[in-house]
Structures are given as structure tokens and as C-alpha cells.
Amino acid sequence: VFLEQRDKDEVGELVSAKTHGATPLVIACRNGHYEVAEYLIEQCGADIEQPGS
């Protein structure tokens, strides 16, 4: 819901931002949140080729 309320550019910035060198996609996968990872890829356009992804 949080990301759905943001515009496309803002979502792109949030999805590609790094925390301690890891993107939200990596953090989701490391913690077993595979549905979140799938959402980030399919709905938010998370770049799986980005370093730290």
C-alpha cells in the first residue's frame, strides 16, 4: 500500500535506494520475504541487475 500511493519516479528511487549496500530487493530475499521480492520486481520495476540486488 505504501508504494502504491507514490508516483512512478518516487517508487523507482525508493526501490533502487541502498541501505548498508543492499537494495530493498536484496533485503527482502535475505529475510525470506519472497512475496515482497516478487512485488518489487513485478510491480515496482526493481532492477535485478543493479549491484546490491
CB hemisphere CA count around 48 (13 angstroms): 7
pLDDT in tens, 10-24: 766 666 666 677 888
Q: Is residue 12 part of a domain?
A: yes
Q: Is residue 52 part of a domain?
A: no
Q: Is residue 33 part of a domain?
A: yes
Q: How many structural domains does the chain have?
A: 1
Other Cβ atoms closer than 10 A to 27: 17
pLDDT in tens, 25-50: 888 898 999 998 998 899 888 888 87
Quick one: pLDDT at residue 38?
94
Q: Is residue 48 part of a domain?
A: no
Q: Is residue 11 part of a domain?
A: yes
Confidence tier at 1 by pLDDT (50, 70, 90): very low
Q: Is residue 26 part of a domain?
A: yes
